Amino acid sequence: MAVANEPASSPLATAPAPGRRWGEVIIESIIKIAGVSVIFIVGFIFLFLLWEGLPAILDIPLRQLFGPQWYPIEEHFGLLPLLFGSLLVTVVAVLIALPLGITTAIYLGEIAPPWLRDILKPIIEILAGIPSIVLGFLGWIALAPLIQTMGAPTGLTAFTGALILAYMALPTIISIAEDALYAVPREYRDGALAIGATQWQTIWRVVVPAARSGMLIAVMLGIGRAIGETMAVLMVTGNAANIPAFSENWLFSPVRTMTATIAAEMGEVAQGSTHYHVLYAIGLLLFLITLAINSLAARLIGVSGGRRSRPGGSL
């Protein structure tokens, strides 16, 4: 193990310097520049959104920006209904996806026989591969009428969107939760079983608590995935820029999310108009929200911790 984990730079760094041609120096510099290009790309996207979004934040009084009315053709740019819509759909989606995803991860990792796991895991991978427009199309043509027949005044509701988003977030949640469970040392399970606990007790009292932080990451990335989803939500949530009254059934009200707003309205606006800048400001907001979530999750996972160790290199 010690050999395998040794940083590769040590033998490579002592590579013989003589005989190196200019071409190689150039190639290596290109690679080094390319390596850091990712930072510049993210920075560039951020600066671009800021550049185009800032005029909106500066021009529109904050009180209006956080007002309750979104009606851009009359210059009402209240973001509250859109924030509400995104939040409601995302929270409900995660509330649906979380128990489903974590239970499935536990089932796959701890209970399912290997042959069943070999069938189920590819199916879940397939779910991750289904384009959101296909799910949106099915939601629009099949799920919405179904929800309407269940008694909602219309099938195009926050719940319809949340249900689809939940399934879209499931592959992420399941795979991260599985990793977290996998990382719990074998000895924990063996120990618990040895002192006479049932398999369920072992899972519930020992394995799951040990995997807690991994579960938290699963939740966060699930949120990150759900809040940025666009096409499916655009097609099934009804897009009414409305915050339902407290007495109404929020779940079965139509809502308008930030992503759907951009998708539906961006094509319309003239470059440089207030509306154009406001849509970029919404994009900036989405960027910052996902940036915060992903940075935090990355910190928890430890992804940002420099060089990765090499996996076992001996044969």
Partner 1 sequence: MPRRPSIAICLLLLLTALALSACSRTADAAGAQAGTGRAIQNKGSDTLVNLALAWAEQYRVEHPDISIAVTGGGSGTGIAALINGTVDIANASRVMKDDEIAEAQANGIDPQEYVVAIDALAVIVNKDNPVSELTIDQLADIFTGRVRNWKEVGGLDEPIILVSRESNSGTHVYFLEEVVRKGDKENKDVFARQTLLMPSSVGITSEVKRNPHAIGYDGLGYVDTNTEKLIAVAKDAGSPFVLPSVATGADGTYPIARDLYVYTDKSPSQAITDYLTWITGPEGQAIVAKLGFVPIAKE
Partner 2 sequence: MTRQQTHRIAITVMTIVSAIVVIPIIMVIGYVIWMGISAVNWEFLTQAPRNGMTEGGIMPAIVGTVILTLGTAIVSMPLSIATAIYLAEYAGDNRVTRWVRLAMVNLAGIPSIVYGLFGLGAFVLFAGFGTSIIAGSLTLGIMTMPVVISTSEEAILAVPQQFRTVSLSLGASKWQTIWHQILPQALPGILTGMILGLGRAAGETAPILFTVAAFYLPQLPQSIFDQTMALPYHLYVIATQVPGMPVSIQYGTALVLLGFVLSLTLIASLVRTFMRRQREW
Interface with partner 1 (CB under 8 A): 69, 71-74, 81, 140, 145, 148, 153-156, 234-235, 238-244, 253-254, 256, 263-265, 267-273
CB closer to partner 1 out of 104 and 239: 239
* 293 is an interface residue for partner 2 by CB under 8 A: yes
Minimum CB distance to partner 1, residue 275 (Å): 9
173 binds, among partner 1, partner 2, none (CB under 5 to 8 A by kind): none
CB closer to partner 1 out of 52 and 178: 52
69 binds, among partner 1, partner 2, none (CB under 5 to 8 A by kind): partner 1
- Tokens 């043509």 locate to 141
**Which residues between 214 and 233 bind partner 2 (CB under 8 A)?**
221, 224, 227-231
Stretch that binds partner 2, among 64-72, 177-185, 187-195, 291-299 (CB under 8 A): 291-299
Q: How many residues bind partner 2 (CB under 8 A)?
A: 108
Report the Cα 158 to chain-centroid distance in Å: 18
74 binds, among partner 2, partner 1, none (CB under 5 to 8 A by kind): partner 1
Token couple for 312: 């076992």
280 binds, among partner 2, partner 1, none (CB under 5 to 8 A by kind): partner 2
